[in-house]
Amino acid sequence: MNAVAVAVVRMTERFNKFFYGFLSACLLMIIFVSCADEFYFGKSKEDLNEELVRSMFELDSLMMNMRITLGDSSIIEK
């Protein structure tokens, strides 16, 4: 009777280790996937290129806006 109880306890401990390990691995995987902004799932290269060009154009427009609003400071940089 004692040997059966010991075997059950060992199996329960092994199951707990496996369960918590699996749970930890899933949690790390969720964190990795949610933080990976540079990975785009389901987009083609053309879509990524179009998005990059659009972002670059918006950034260039914002920089030009700032330059116009603040005045061209190339005279101060000398």
Please state the rounded mean pLDDT for residues 34-49: 76
CB atoms within 10 A of CB 70: 8
Parent domain of 66: 40-78
Q: What is the pLDDT of residues 8-21, one digit of tens each?
A: 888 888 888 888 88
Distance in angstroms (rounded) separating the CA atoms of residues 64 and 61? 5
Question: Could you tell me which residue, 25 or 14, shows the higher pLDDT?
Answer: 25
DSSP structural state of residue 73 = -
Say how far residue 50 (Cα) sits from the centre of its chain: 21
Asked if 34 and 18 sit in the same domain, the reply is yes
Sign of CA dihedral 61, 63, 66, 72: negative
Domain count, the chain: 2
Q: Does one domain contain both 47 and 26?
A: no
- The span from the CA of 60 to the CA of 65, in Å, is 9
